[in-house]
Structure formats: structure tokens, C-alpha cells
Amino acid sequence: MNDPQSATESSAAPAPGSRRPGGRTARTRAAVRDAVLTGLAEHGYPALTVEYVAEHSGVHKTTLYRRWGGIEGMLADALALAGEDRWTAPDTGDLGGDLRALAHEVAAAFADPAQAAAPTAFVAAAFQSPRAADALRAFYEERFRRCETVVERAVARGEAPAGTDAGAVVRAVSAPLFLRLFVTREPVDAAVADQAADTVLAAVRAGAFAPSPAGPEGGSEAEPGQT
């Protein structure tokens, strides 16, 4: 699972960095995005400045402030731009293969420290900037939404129980990987990725992500001895 313009006086105007223009402005947007990513990777969110982005993007500070409002707007737009790609979830022909492929994509994305620097800095920025946190959440919500198709196909093939929570399944695959990457700072390799995927696959087959059977009065069946 892979990685936003000027405010107006109207209250209905989009927030800075939220428009999707094309042409010359699209090139400007891409240049700003690249400068933001480079700055995050080199210096982290606290040291990222409008001056840095202006110098490395070739876009004047006045334009940056007018279109994006500041660093937070540029961060949000960089993530929004990343989310506009055409990435699709893998389709290996079975649920186990799809889940392992998803897990391997996460592992591969962070295997190279240079490649991982910018997305890691985005996560760090989300802890310091509410707008960055909102943008990061929106990015991953869209990514996970695209991933849900692997579970929907599995249900259609009879590999997963009807009603399986597709969103919960795809989040469960990446959760232990993100824990290692961003909390415990442990390495993530192919074996760890396979373990995460296979664990979720076993849980899916056991019905852990499907609705619980309803009891005679519409509630869950009580265990023997429970009241």
C-alpha cells in the first residue's frame, strides 16, 4: 500500500491545497510536493520551512502562502497528491496470496531507508500537526478502501465467510508491520510480512472478522454458566 490552493474570502472556498488544477499549476503543485518530501526526509517536520520549500521548488514564498497557507497546507497537499495515483490492490487469485502481497508491499516500501524517510517523516508530522494527521488518515482510508476488494473477491469465491469486515481485515494485515516500523522500531522483512498475512488469513477462515451468530432473542449466544 503505497504516498493539495488559494483561500478566498468566500466561506465555501476550499481549504488551501485542496483544489486539483491542471496545466502549469499542476507542475507547480508537483514541484512543491517534491520539495516538501525532500525537506521532510532531510530535516523532519519541525525544521521544514516555507523558505526551504520556496528555494527547492522554485516557487516564490508569496505564491506558497497564497495557495497553500503555509507548511501544513503543503503537507496536506503532498499526501492528497500521492492519493491521486492509480494504484490497485493485488489480485493473485486467492485471499492468502493477496494478503501476503499487500504485506510485502508495506515491507518493501520501508526496506530502503532513503525511500522510507519521507513517509516516516509524514507519520511523525501527524503527531505534531492536526492537519497533517487528517491528511494522513484520509490517505490511508482511501488506500484501505482500495484494498477491500481482495476480501470482497474472497467472499465471492467462498474463501471467507459472508459478512466478513473487509476494512478490518486489510487493516489487520498492516497493523503489526506499522507497529514494528513506527513504535518498536524493529526490522520488517519478508518473513515478518508473511507471518502478518498468514495470521490474518487464519483469523478470516475462523470467522473472526464475520458477524457473531445471533442468539435466540437476537443477541449473542451466552457461554455455559454465564447469565
Which of 13-17, 46-50, 175-179 is the least confident region?
13-17
Using alpha carbons, select from 59, 54, 51 the residue that is nearest to residue 27.
59
3-state helix, strand, coil split of the chain in percent (to 5) is 65, 0, 35
- pLDDT higher than threshold 90 for residue 210: yes
pLDDT digits (tens, 9 = 90+) for 168-195: 999 999 999 999 999 999 999 999 999 9
| 6 pLDDT tier (thresholds 50, 70, 90) | very low
What mean pLDDT value characterizes the chain? 84
The mean per-residue pLDDT over the stretch 44-72 comes to 92
- pLDDT higher than threshold 50 for residue 111: yes
| 197 pLDDT tier (thresholds 50, 70, 90) | very high
Cα gap 70→80, rounded to integer Å: 16
- pLDDT higher than threshold 70 for residue 8: no
pLDDT digits (tens, 9 = 90+) for 118-177: 888 888 888 888 888 999 999 999 999 999 999 999 999 999 999 999 999 999 999 999
Pull the grid cell for residue 6: 488559494
153: left (phi over 0), alpha (psi -120 to 50) or beta: alpha
